[in-house]
Structure 1
Amino acid sequence: MNRIVLGALGALLLVAAGLFWWQGRATNAGPPPAPRLALDTPTAETDELPDADGEGLQGPALPQATEQTREQKRFDRLDRDRDGRITRNEMLAPRVRDFRKLDVDGNNLLSFEEWAVKTADRFKTADANGDQSLTRTEFATTKPKMKKKQDCACR
């Protein structure tokens, strides 16, 4: 019982410390300083310190960002030559690398065996005698490996 109460109290203290730390960082963070070029010369205005109240001060304007919709971004990813049109080759280009991985014999035709390459490879490794058929013992080697569950040591 004491362990539970102490654990709960410790967790609350950690949460409170994290909350104070987070709030402290938020109040200490000020606006980023304005960029200063090497060619700028100090003037009377920049040498003066601003008042603590900040009255009459205004930061630089925020940069304007162009907003693109998801569809525009997706279109631009496929439009490689930036002509405003997507050709058939541009549309199929991302799929070519995956097709080349599957096309083992390189004849640009995808047979069923090439498409099912993982299953075909598993069959080849399980067929120990090479007779193009699996016996019960050979088939047993294709069984997926089960992940061991860790025994709970909570006693």
Structure 2
Amino acid sequence: MWRYFAGAGAALLLAFSGIFLFRGSAASEAMLPAAPAARSAALAPEEALAAEAPSATAKTREQKRFDRYDKDRNDAVTRDEYLLLRRKAFAKLDVNRDGKLDFEEWAVKTTAKFAGADADRTGALTRAEFLTTAPKPRAGPKPKCACPSAPAKEDVED
């Protein structure tokens, strides 16, 4: 029974000492310095803040696309302006600049891939050479974070 009385007395003693320590440390803390003067009071009248924050113009995707096509900025897209990107793409493919695309010019990427895979220059691909033309598998979705890989089992010490 005496253990209960000793435990209760010790708990009361700890509670009272905690109260006295808390009140003593709170009174000895320094007061916070005064807040600095407001900057708006120091501004001259000509430097007064604007009523609202500046913002960028909100253009839709189609407005931006229209502006890319409208080269002379007259708010009208002519046929020549509309076809300009197609003409540039055509000019890249028309290697001999004759204004016509023959099959070899049109399939330049594929013929270059074939020529690169034909290691022995025979004009035909062996099975081993054909394997080099396989499309690369697409990677899955990119991880959201770059987490370090787990150490190998032999690197971990027991």
TM-score by length of 1: 0.46
TM-score by length of 2: 0.45
Higher relative CO (Cα under 8 Å, sequence separation at least 6) belongs to 1
